[in-house]
Amino acid sequence: MSRYEPHAIEPKWQAVWDADQTFTAVRDPARPKYYVLEMFPYPSGRIHMGHVRNYTMGDVVARYKAAQGFSVLHPMGWDAFGMPAENAAMERGGHPKEWTYSNIADMRAQMKPLGLSIDWSREFATCDPEYYGQQQSMFIDMMAAGLVYRKAAVVNWDPVDMTVLANEQVIDGKGWRSNAPVERRELTQWFFKISDYSAELLAALDGLTNWPEKVRLMQANWIGKSRGLQFAFATSGAPAGFDQLEVYTTRPDTLLGASFAAISPDHPLAKHLERHDPAVAAFVADCRRGGTTEEAMEKAEKRGFDTGIRVLHPLDATVALPVYIANFVLMDYGTGAIFGCPAHDQRDFDFATKYGLAIPAVFVADGGDDVPLTEAFVPMKSERVRYIRNFAGADIQTGDAAVTAAIAHCESRGIGRGVINYRLRDWGISRQRYWGCPIPVIHCDTCGVVPEARENLPVRLPDDVTFDIPGNPLDRHPTWRQCKCPNCGADARRETDTMDTFVDSSWYYARFTAPHSQTPTNAEDAAYWMNVDQYIGGVEHAILHLLYSRFFARAMHATGHLPAAAIEPFNALFTQGMVTHETYSTPHPDAADRPVWRAPDEVIRTATGASLVDGTPVTVGPIIKMSKSKKNVVDPMNIIAAFGADTARWFVMSDSPPERDVEWTASGAEATHKHLSRVWTLCDRIGSMPEGHQGTGDADLARATARAVHEVTQGIEGFAFNKAIAKLYEFTNTLSKANASTGAMKQAIRTLAQLMQPMTPHIAESIWAYQGGAGLCAKAPWPVADPALLIADTVTLPIQINGKRRAEISVPADMPASQIEKLALADQDVIKFLAGAPVKKIIVVPGRIINVVI
């Protein structure tokens, strides 16, 4: 062995693993399986440090589990559909397909040098027709199972680009590309019936005990279960067919505070009135202007239109309430109609104030008076209230009990019923885009909307499209739309919407179990490999991707593509933190408030400050997620070129716990490289020890080795890679100072190589081979610590007097507490501190501590 040269050893071992097919996943019924998956990347063309961290984590788990004897599946693929490819085509010309596949080739080439234990034979991209064809086939199955439907839905419409925009693409109410004011437009869209599964998706969260609590909570909030009363107002003056108005409320206890009713502009009654009354039409049209984004909603002033219709209060038929069309009432929650209780709901209060409606209070703060309100009184959890218009029971004080009593009371009087409502809405998957999976349906004038025939799948995207004009290229393609109805054979038109790319990523984990199957999945492979045992990715996917995947697994089970055991596809989830870096900037020559961002490799960083090469002072800014816009990115390729993959892998796993953000620093990367060099030198030194060398430290070294094995194993098992690495530092330091026999030293460094292998596989293989390890380190069984060696024979116990540490004694580990007590009280320091004071109590925690209380 000479110097540590990662560039020599890393490609060498990668070639060895390739030739050996070390990481090819094999369905082996004799062994337990382990499926580890990292969220697959979008092929932007460059890998970044976040990828390195994510895939290294997965790789540590995969390599560790393989060493434990599991049959491991660790695949990689590409989430390859989506808008960036179309944007690139619009900006630079070219074709999304070429752009995407060339990016995939680039990124694969950047990932391979990391030495990840991936089974590349299972690789696919979601834009492969072999993949999206299977997706189309499942779409048709889901249609047959009643899980797909079409309905008109309101979308953000960019009138210049003639396209639907996602909410994120609407900035200040304008299209991000066209800068044109976005309109709300009603389009007929395809939906998945995820809401059928609301209750189940919520209830099953309880079983996901190996998911972060935070993610489960976010999903629960997203599904948004609420309990309330649904009842019908009797109307007067309403058009025929609208003699009842259904409303939903979570606060039936405030029913006596009703002063108006309001319906959504999209409510059937509003739509009916719109057709007959130009004033209503104008108001409703006005409501529809403006985007559907959060900001647009928040800024929108509450506005209403009095329809002239009245409803009778269900508890007091002498009270008639006006019915408004109101812009703040949502059609797709509850019934699209509400009763307004201004005294106890801020929105209703604002509305009532604006339109001069009554504000009758139902309750007041306990001890308070029924005085006119200046804002809605919404009691906090801790506040007690006194009902002044209580209809349901005598001494109801808390919200929940009041609601329960109110529901029971109303039900007993025949007014409505208690219902459970969910916030979760059906999943709209239509996108008016080219670069996505075509929705495999056909519009026929006689048969209506029918699924494409199976034998015609995949419905392929046409290659001859252009992006020089706005709109969906599939819409204006000269021939692609034309087809025959699979039902009657008449001329028909293809659907030109494509699917949301979240559909693609909702089942890729299942496809990895049989990536070349002629059906979406293969029963034996799915049964063997599912579920994903460990899923790893960013917390930004905590809601949508993971919820859609949970729904999709259920839908795949319902349509016979996954076993019942796989309806929760991810047994364990880990959400890793981001890779961050300092930001650097210099003043802008013209605009002082606008900094010029500087990349780390332009900046010379010292302990006290930073400057450019020419001496220009640089402002060191906050440590934030690496991003192109702030230029605070370090290209993994540069790090690999400078120090090798093992250094990059070790560094991203050390110091910070994996769920937290990790800051990339140049000094840290260098220090990691130095450490690996020291390990290399140590290996060299041990390798050149004379054969029969004897030392006095064999027993100590054996104990240190056992402890290292134990603690590194625990660290990896518990996703505490930073702690595992700290133990490896400790063990390396111990080993380099040890005075033991040649055989013991060699044994210890082979174990060190094995323990390092999940993190730094290349240097581990080199050490393993050099020190006479059998076969590949990657395939060697994980070391097991001898439990006898983990127990120390003597322990040092601190002695506290009244909780303050004053002395310590060393005793045999198995000494009984009574004897430790005597020894402690006989200790010179203890006697000095007691100064003759009587001992009230003495606590001996064996192996831990002694506390003397005086």
Q: Looking only at residues 214 through 273 of this chain, which bind RNA when binding is defined by CB under 7 A?
A: 214, 217-218, 221-222, 224, 226, 228, 248-251, 264
Least Å distance between CB 850 and RNA? 8
Of 797-826, binders to RNA (CB under 7 A) are 798, 800, 802-806, 808
Interaction mask 600-619, RNA, x per CB under 7 A? -------x------------
Contacting range for RNA; rule: CB under 7 A; set: 455-463, 742-750, 792-800, 818-826:
792-800
Q: Check residue 334 for interaction with RNA (CB under 7 A).
A: yes
**Closest residue by Cα to residue 166 from 729, 661, 544:** 544
d(CA 699, CA 409): 78
The 10 Å Cβ neighbour count of residue 324 is: 23
- Please list every residue from 471 through 510 that binds RNA, using CB under 7 A: none
Tokens standing for 90?
């619009």
In the chain, helix, strand, coil percent, each to 5?
40, 20, 40
- Considering only residues 275, 460, 660, 779, which one is a binding residue for RNA as defined by CB under 7 A? 660
Judge contact between 715 and 658, C-beta under 8 A.
no
Name the residue nearer to RNA (CB basis): 543 or 825: 543
For the bound state, the minimum distance from the C-beta of residue 82 to RNA, rounded and expressed in Å, comes to 19
Neighbouring-strand partners of residue 604: 611
User: With binding defined as CB under 7 A, does residue 678 bind RNA?
Assistant: yes
Interface residue with RNA among 201, 258, 284, 662 (CB under 7 A) is: 662
User: Hey, which residues between 517 and 536 contact RNA (CB under 7 A)?
Assistant: none
- Residue 301 sits in the site that holds RNA (CB under 7 A): yes
Smallest distance, Å, CB 806 to RNA?
A: 6
**176 vs 333 by CB, closer to RNA:** 333
Q: Where are the alpha helices (DSSP H) in 42-128?
A: 49-67, 83-92, 96-111
Residue 678 amino acid letter:
R
User: In the window 721-760, what residues touch RNA (CB under 7 A)?
Assistant: 722-723, 725-726, 729-730, 733
Stretch 396-435 residues interacting with RNA (CB under 7 A)? 421, 423
C-alpha torsion sign, points 308, 314, 317, 319: negative
Q: Does 835 bind RNA (CB under 7 A)?
A: no
From the list 14-22, 180-188, 428-436, 658-666, the region that binds RNA by CB under 7 A is 658-666
- Kindly state the smallest distance separating residue 154's Cβ from RNA, in Å: 12
* Strand 794-801, strand 849-853: pairing: parallel
- The gap from C-alpha 491 to its chain's centroid, in whole angstroms, comes to 45
Asked if 625 touches RNA (CB under 7 A), the answer is no
| Of 282, 300, 784, 791, the one binding RNA by CB under 7 A | 300
Q: Give the footprint of RNA on residues 709-728 (CB under 7 A).
A: 720, 722-723, 725-726
Residue 344 CB, nearest approach to RNA (Å): 9
8 A C-beta contact, residue 559 and residue 599? no
By CB under 7 A, which span of 75-83, 210-218, 386-394, 819-827 interacts with RNA? 210-218
Sole residue written with tokens 């003056």:
237
- Least distance to RNA, CB of residue 849, Å: 4
Q: Which is nearer to RNA, 110 or 506 (CB)?
A: 506
CB nearer to RNA: give 461 or 579.
Answer: 579
Rounded CA-CA distance 824/841 in Å is: 13
Token pair 């016979």: residue: 560
Options 192-200, 277-285, 519-527, 653-661: segment touching RNA (CB under 7 A): 653-661
Looking at 144, 330, 565, 792, which residue binds RNA (CB under 7 A)? Answer: 330
CA separation for the pair 204, 566 (Å, rounded): 13
CA-closest candidate to residue 40, choices 492, 604, 455, 515: 515
| C-beta atoms surrounding 124 within 10 Å | 19
Instruction: Go through 228-238 and write b for each residue having 16 or more CB atoms within 10 A of its CB, e for each that does not.
Output: bbbbbbebeeb
For the chain, report the end-to-end CA distance as a whole number of angstroms. 63
Mention every residue, 6+ apart, whose C-beta is less than 8 A from residue 230.
Answer: 246, 247, 248, 249, 334, 335, 416, 417, 419
Nearer to RNA, 637 or 671 (CB): 671
